[in-house]
Amino acid sequence: MTRIIRLFAVTLAVLVFAAGAQAQERFITIASTTSTEQSGLFPYLFPAFTKATGITVHVVAVGTGQALAIGQRGDCDVVFVHDKPSELKFVADGYGIGRREVMYNDFVLVGPKADPAKVAGGKDIVAAFAKIAAAQATFLSRGDDSGTDKAEKRLWQAAGISPQSGGWYKSLGQGMGPTLNTAAASSGYALSDRGTWLNFKNRQDLVIVVEGDRRLFNQYGVMLVNPKLHPSVKVKDGMAFINWITSPAGQQTIAGYKINGDQLFFPNYHPGG
């Protein structure tokens, strides 16, 4: 009986200690995009940050529009997204502070090898969109107010086209991975960030058909949610992440993430930029 009591006491002490350790865990919440998650960057990046600082990261991976809305409500500490116009408005409206440009990659237009719109090999993304519309070739749009979705809408606008969902143009309201899966299954075209595309396994007959246009440049920015609006924001630990990811160590970690030798993101933080 004495041994049982001792065993119970030891077990209870371990449970109490574990509960206390969990309660004392230092963590921040980052609202970010599906591209940083589905490309595999965050699972690679965050352990390095935690090792350097002891702070763990809870990430909410959604579209850029949703991530900014989460920051606007004060339900995260840091926002890490990729639509500069929306980010600048977020800061101008007082919801975020200290925006920094962190890294970039680019968007690519993917489509079936058969290429019914005859756009493969072109360097003019707006002309490619116009050809897809003229051919009424299947196009899959994320339709989720993400950074990719916003970029796609600007390209249609530049082409002077207002595609309507339901015919050849299908707005899915989905993340990048599901959108690429649907494009692969239906032999359709889709705009993708390069990082998610390189990490995407279910390509079937999809290939990159247009790349290299300067209008496909894809910049990522990071900012702290304004603690004056939301006192619950973890300023010290949130800034620790922002400072780390824009430090030489953080920038080198971003550059070190590769798939089959291909670098997915390119660090470009400049102090004061």
Closest CA to 72 of 95, 97, 93: 95
Do 126 and 174 belong to one domain? Answer: yes
Please compute the mean of the pLDDT values over residues 123-139 and round it to a whole number.
Answer: 97
Confidence of residue 273 (pLDDT cuts 50, 70, 90): low
pLDDT tens-place string over residues 198-225: 999 999 999 999 999 999 999 999 999 9
Do 226 and 210 belong to one domain? Answer: no
Do 206 and 123 belong to one domain? Answer: yes
Do 71 and 119 belong to one domain? Answer: no
What is the domain range of residue 178? 106-216
Task: Give the pLDDT score at 121.
Answer: 96
Task: Give the pLDDT score at 25.
Answer: 82
Do 175 and 242 belong to one domain? Answer: no
Please compute the mean of the pLDDT values over residues 52-79 and round it to a whole number.
Answer: 96
**Residue 128 forms part of a structural domain:** yes
pLDDT tens-place string over residues 255-272: 999 999 999 999 999 986
Do 6 and 97 belong to one domain? Answer: yes
**Residue 273 forms part of a structural domain:** no
**Residue 188 forms part of a structural domain:** yes
Task: Give the pLDDT score at 166.
Answer: 76
Last residue of a domain, one of 200, 216, 232: 216
Do 96 and 112 belong to one domain? Answer: no
Which residue has 């840091």 as its token pair?
A: 78
Task: Give the pLDDT score at 34.
Answer: 87
Do 46 and 69 belong to one domain? Answer: yes
Task: Give the pLDDT score at 3.
Answer: 52
**Residue 29 forms part of a structural domain:** yes
- Please count the other Cβ atoms lying within 10 Å of the Cβ belonging to residue 187: 17
- 57 pLDDT more than 70: yes
- If one counts the domains in the chain, the total is 2
Using CB atoms within 10 Å of the CB of residue 68, give its burial: 0 to 12 exposed, 13 to 18 middle, 19+ buried: buried
Task: Give the pLDDT score at 2.
Answer: 55
DSSP conformational letter for 75: -
Do 60 and 93 belong to one domain? Answer: yes
Task: Give the pLDDT score at 9.
Answer: 46
**Helix 147-158 vs helix 84-92: crossing angle, to nearest 10:** 110
Last residue of a domain, one of 177, 196, 216: 216
Confidence of residue 247 (pLDDT cuts 50, 70, 90): very high
Task: Report yes or no: 220 and 78 within 8 Å, Cβ to Cβ.
Answer: no
Task: Give the pLDDT score at 160.
Answer: 96
Confidence of residue 21 (pLDDT cuts 50, 70, 90): very low
Task: Give the pLDDT score at 179.
Answer: 96
Do 94 and 128 belong to one domain? Answer: no
Average pLDDT, the chain: 91
**Residue 79 forms part of a structural domain:** yes
**Residue 272 forms part of a structural domain:** no
Confidence of residue 140 (pLDDT cuts 50, 70, 90): very high
Do 20 and 35 belong to one domain? Answer: yes
Please compute the mean of the pLDDT values over residues 77-83 and round it to a whole number.
Answer: 96
CATH number at residue 187: 3.40.190.10
How far is it, in rounded angstroms, from Cα 134 to Cα 4? 79
Rg over CA atoms, the chain: 22
**Residue 133 forms part of a structural domain:** yes
pLDDT tens-place string over residues 110-126: 999 999 999 999 999 99
**Residue 233 forms part of a structural domain:** yes
- The residue with greater pLDDT, 3 or 98, is 98
Confidence of residue 14 (pLDDT cuts 50, 70, 90): very low
Tokens of 74: 């004060």
Task: Give the pLDDT score at 44.
Answer: 95
Closest CA to 127 of 117, 136, 137: 117
pLDDT tens-place string over residues 94-115: 999 999 999 999 999 999 999 9
Do 65 and 37 belong to one domain? Answer: yes
Contacts of 29 (CB under 8 A, 6+ apart): 57, 58, 59, 60, 75, 76, 77, 78
Last residue of a domain, one of 216, 232, 248: 216
